[in-house]
Amino acid sequence: MMHHALNRVLLAGALALVAGHATAADKIKVGFMLPYSGTYAALGTAIENGFKLYVAEQGGKLGGRELEYFKVDDESNPAKASENANRLIKRDQVDILIGTVHSGVAMALAKAAKGSDTTLIVTNAGADAITGPMCGPGIFRTSFSNWQPGYAMGPVAAAKGHKTAVTITWKYAAGAEQMEGFREGFEKNGGKIVKDLTLPFPNVEFQSLLTEIASIKPDMVFAFFAGGGAVKFVQDYHASGLQKTIPLYGTGFLTDGTLPAQGASAQGILTTLHYADGLNTPRDNDFRAHYAKTYNNVQPDVYAVQGYDAAQLMQSGLAAVQGNIDDKAKFRDAMRGATIDSPRGKFTLSAAGNPVQDFYLRKVDGQKNNVVEVAVKQLADPARGCKL
């Protein structure tokens, strides 16, 4: 008798495997495609740490199922992006993709995800197209569109009386789109961008561009750099002495996760972002305490929050299907309808799958990007070109 029952269980398991069906006992395969090397390496690690912190808070499971992780270092290299995405999709056969940081890499990742109908949660990259023309039922973002943090600074800069701005950034989608968002917000409020300066990603030879800014003498400079490049840019801008006459502003990436390395050079810089230090809500305070305790006293940054919220979003979907991630339509519908109780403040997703969220004005004080005010409340990306 015993023997027969056992055989039947084993047979059912074998059949399920042959048919390619996961059972509740199987682990959910989660594919992390993130930069673990290069100028964005620290960002990738923060995203993974944030994701795993939430999972640990749920007792190591999401939707009642354990997770098995597969990792690829995408090096923030768009040329290798399709191949790297397919490692996770075809070789590892992951159930869900989590990533990435770089907009160019993320566009290839989103294309591969759509082509294979694999669910994707974008945990940083702001490429407008992902929740624009490339949007789809299986595509989600817990971060931002590039347009959002750029746009948010427009009214703030204009209200400070600035009339002219020079923009400076790396020449790729993230830089171009964040500057474009700023242009829209700034020009709508009477400002004018008099020059757009760029250099190739991830170069950090800023000297000739700083000389050009000095000769143009705009009222302000608006910049996007992040990670290691942001550290160097802020240091160089400070060393040039320009800050005294031409204040530097940026999207919050310029000073997020970078303050210990930037030190004195970053003091007083104003940026806009969907996260800030000093929010002082019970939700954020709990998150920060737990993060610091888990990761050697490292303070969480915006990237850690975006990773944490990707796990929260996944949990909302899995709760609706009792862990059966193969019930794709129901899983995805539940995610799209979720309200995420984020450390940044609660947010929902637009029809295109991008967070509708507050953007904070922050000011660097010591090693903190302290919240000054909400620059734009509940800002939704226009999702131009998305037909969902």
The residues of the shown chain that bind ligand PHB, judged by CB under 6 A, are: 40, 101-103, 124-127, 146, 174, 226, 253
61-62 vs 248-251, strand pairing mode: unpaired
User: What sign for the dihedral angle of Cα 149, 152, 157, 163?
Assistant: positive
Least distance between ligand PHB and beta carbon 158 (Å): 23
Q: Say which amino acid occupies 253.
A: F
Q: Which residues of 27-45 are buried (b: 16+ CB within 10 A; e: fewer)?
A: ebbbbbbbbbebbbbbbbb
Q: How many CB atoms lie within 10 A of CB 292?
A: 13
Whole-number Cα distances in Å, 166 to 103, 162, 193, 224, 268: 23, 11, 6, 12, 19
Instruction: List Cβ neighbours of 33 (8 Å cut-off, separation of 6 or more).
Output: 72, 74, 84, 85, 88, 97, 98, 99, 100, 105, 109
Q: Beta strands of 79-159 (E only): which ranges?
A: 96-99, 119-122, 139-141
**190 vs 260, beta carbon nearer ligand PHB:** 260
Nearest to ligand PHB by Cβ — which residue?
Answer: 226
**146 vs 324, beta carbon nearer ligand PHB:** 146
Least distance between ligand PHB and beta carbon 121 (Å): 15
Q: Say which amino acid occupies 247.
A: P
**238 vs 274, beta carbon nearer ligand PHB:** 274
Least distance between ligand PHB and beta carbon 334 (Å): 27
Least distance between ligand PHB and beta carbon 220 (Å): 21
Q: Partners of 249 in the beta sheet?
A: 222, 270
**44 vs 317, beta carbon nearer ligand PHB:** 44
Q: How many CB atoms lie within 10 A of CB 21?
A: 11
Least distance between ligand PHB and beta carbon 103 (Å): 4
**218 vs 250, beta carbon nearer ligand PHB:** 250
Residue 333's nearest CA partner among 345, 351, 347 is 351
**32 vs 253, beta carbon nearer ligand PHB:** 253
**124 vs 235, beta carbon nearer ligand PHB:** 124
Least distance between ligand PHB and beta carbon 374 (Å): 20
Least distance between ligand PHB and beta carbon 125 (Å): 4
Residue 297 tokens, joined:
């006293």
